[in-house]
Structure 1
Amino acid sequence: MLRAFLQRYRTMVLVSVFFFYLGCCLTINFTHIECATKASNNNDLETRDKSLSKAQYVVIIISSPNNEPKRDAIRTTWGNFVDNIFVENGEIIYKWNHTVISKQSQQNIVKLFFAVGRLGLSEIKAEKVANEQKRQKDILILDNIEDSYKNLSLKVLNTLSWISKNLKEMKYVIKCDDDSFVRIDLIVKDLVAFAPSMNAPELDKFVTLKEQQPTYKGLYWGYFNGHAKVYLSGKWQEKRWFLCDNYLPYALGGGYVISRSVVDYIAQNIDFLSYYNAEDVSMGVWTASLNAINRIHDVRFDTEWKSRGCDDNMLVRHKQTVNDMFQMYKTLVHSHGRKLCEIEEFERKTYYYNWNVLPSMCCKRN
């Protein structure tokens, strides 16, 4: 009876079996495609940009998912200054030459990327950031970090941990915000020539250092504050602070530089480090007990809560708008890198950090 049934409906059975197997194959293939898509969204910048592993000087820009216009402004303006660092005859040198560039000479010595948290984003925002990363290939997407002010220190911790693990050639990290204009070419130029001692006649009029030592184990370079009062209320309130009445000396977060030794120390102790709302305050705490770290205060870092004005010698200008960035870039291009400011102006006095007194007396403005 079964044989008679199969003979009668043989064609129908064969067609049914064929479509069954076809459906199984399609299901398996679509599942594979979906898994591959999820894997491609896994944030491993090193697999997407092999040149990143060669970077010796890494610029991390703390950004947020909604700040694509600021990221685009940086890419169009000062982000191009990475091309002013060349390799010639095995030596890293600086040349103002970004309008006529030799990509082969540049050799990816300097790399720039934006750190963005993805946890808790809507599907639309997450997809927008992912698409931007596919186009630009310069975003470090932190899947486990919700992007908010209270998570800034966690964001920096996780970013430095990733750098320590993945970028084996890295020597120095330049950390800044996405409203900072940064002369990364000149910073790298000084690092190549003078780090970690930063002791040179060319720098004497700009820097004050904590102490002279025969050798240093690392560098912490920026515009330091040692007498900042602890915020007890408002947006910047630090509920967990207990160390003393003031914050410990720290380089202001609009832009600072730390050496690989500092990055590795933080990455290796990430589970033991206390952190606070302000990531720059946290950095001051994390590094406070480190021995033989050269702490350099430099007036060319304009990184206070309000800009001190514009000086052609400045390496970092914080609190800048997109229009400000384009104007400074235009001025630099027209002057072949010699002038940062359309008009030099000084709105607030600066100070040279006095490392020989207690922090409460450190920062008397000239």
Structure 2
Amino acid sequence: MRRYNNLVTLLTAITAFFFGSFITKILSSVEKCPSHWSEVSDLKSHPNLFLMILVLSTPRSAEQRNAMRKTWLQTARKFIQQPYYPEELIYLPTYGPNGLLQLELVDQQANRLKQYMDWQKSLLTRIPLLAQRQIKVKHLFAIGTIKISSSLETELLREQNQHNDLLLLQRHHDTYGSLTEKLLQALKALIHNYEFSYIIKVDDDTYVKLDSLLNELVSYDRKLLRKISEYGPNPIPQLYWGYFNGRAKIKEKGHWKETNYYLSKNYLPYALGGGYVLSRKICEYIVNSSQLLTPYVSEDVSIGTWLAPLRHVYRWHDPRFDTAYMPRKCKPYHIVLHKRSLEMMTDIYHGKLCSGTVSSSLPEYYYDWTRTADKCCDSLVV
């Protein structure tokens, strides 16, 4: 009887082992399936990217996408032809006694911009030592494909076959009210299918001087890596780089009407949506917490609100990001330019700084993190 019991026990253990191995294999194959994680068309692995460019586009915006491909996205396939931006001009935040990152004061922001402009001028008066660097960059246009016509679907598939740069979100319907969900789906797809250090989210009417942005971002990243040990037990700062607003009133009508924003009288500080940069760790936090986060109508407001409580987010306010709902007066130092037409993109690509742009009345400001929201943006750039 004892032998019989031992035999049964052995057979049970063997069966359990093989059954467990079988289940593990199934689960592992499911985890590796891009469509399961991202709900998008198949994506191929592209490891070790430095910057991922995520363009939120619509199914019918093929003309805008082609304008971007023919202009500034071309830079992604070339060597950076600039000298290294000096690391001594890079600001790295430190932690204060309260355990929070010390963000730049207005005077520091003004000095940083002056140093950048002086550095630019110095390149015109001497022959700089160019550093040819192939920085790995990839761009994708995020497009929702639910409820589109068969003819439009055919056009998108033809475009995908030609360029292979569409992130087709097969469970998303492109509308103004669903942009936050679209951004979440896109981030989820990128996190689970690509290895990258930073991402820049832009609209399909945004022009990025990619050489300049990459040059400074690389210098920032190199300096941060060298200084990691100085942060001790504190978390490493995570980058949220753009042009911030903290006094925007909550929209009560139109496409952007919010019905569940009860946190404050104004939106919490957020980077304006024409373009901003996020570190990978921030993207991972958003994706992993998405089931717990309250979505708001504006995807950019949502990002700012979700990141507001985090003490290790480095909010780098940069006047060189012209990313509001209408262009500011053109400046040579602008590196991200929103609301640019197809003709403007072509002109900028060929060196015409302000061709076709109309100077707006929007003031350009430094962000005063020491003041309340109603006074945050009164320090004008002169």
Give the match for residue 184 of structure 2.
157
- The alignment partner of 2:351 has SS state of helix
Superposed, 1:216-235 pairs within 5 Å as 216-235=236-255
**Higher RCO, 1 or 2 (CA under 8 Å, sep at least 6)?**
2
The runs of 5 or more residues in structure 2 that have no matched partner are: 1-34, 82-131, 225-232
State the AA in 1 paired with 2:252.
L
Which of the numbers 28, 45, 66 marks the counterpart of 2:43?
45
Residues 261-284 of structure 1, C-alpha deviations (whole Å, 9 max, x = no match) = 100001111211111111110111
C-alpha spacing 1:216/1:82, structure 2 compared with 1 (3 Å): same
8 A Cα contact 1:221 1:296, kept in partner: yes
Please, which moves more after superposition, 183-192 or 315-324? 183-192
Give the match for residue 4 of structure 1.
none
State the AA in 1 paired with 2:184.
L
Which of the numbers 220, 237, 251 marks the counterpart of 2:271?
251
C-alpha spacing 1:239/1:44, structure 2 compared with 1 (3 Å): same
8 A Cα contact 2:72 2:207, kept in partner: yes
Q: Please tell me whether Structure 1 or Structure 2 has the larger radius of gyration of its CA atoms.
A: 1
8 A Cα contact 1:196 1:218, kept in partner: no
RMSD of the alignment, in Å? Answer: 2.7
Give the match for residue 332 of structure 2.
312
Q: Identity percentage over the alignment?
A: 35
Give the match for residue 187 of structure 1.
213
Give the match for residue 202 of structure 2.
176
8 A Cα contact 1:197 1:216, kept in partner: no
Give the match for residue 58 of structure 1.
52
- Within 1, Cα distance between the matches of 2:221 and 2:294? 28
- Within 2, Cα distance between the matches of 1:197 and 1:243? 36
C-alpha spacing 1:196/1:250, structure 2 compared with 1 (3 Å): farther
- The alignment partner of 1:55 has SS state of strand
- Within 2, Cα distance between the matches of 1:266 and 1:124? 35
The runs of 5 or more residues in structure 1 that have no matched partner are: 1-37, 88-104, 199-212, 333-339
Which of the numbers 256, 260, 264 marks the counterpart of 1:240?
260
8 A Cα contact 1:195 1:219, kept in partner: no
- Within 1, Cα distance between the matches of 2:41 and 2:350? 34
- The alignment partner of 1:331 has SS state of coil
C-alpha spacing 1:261/1:135, structure 2 compared with 1 (3 Å): same
- Within 1, Cα distance between the matches of 2:201 and 2:174? 17
8 A Cα contact 1:161 1:267, kept in partner: yes
Matched, 1:293 2:313: yes
Q: How many residues align?
A: 286
- The alignment partner of 1:171 has SS state of strand
Matched, 1:359 2:379: no
- The alignment partner of 2:261 has SS state of coil
- Within 2, Cα distance between the matches of 1:320 and 1:344? 8
Give every structure 1 segment of 4 or more consecutive aligned residues whose post-TM-superposition deviation is greater than 2 Å. Answer: 83-87, 105-108, 195-198, 213-217, 340-349
C-alpha spacing 1:251/1:193, structure 2 compared with 1 (3 Å): same
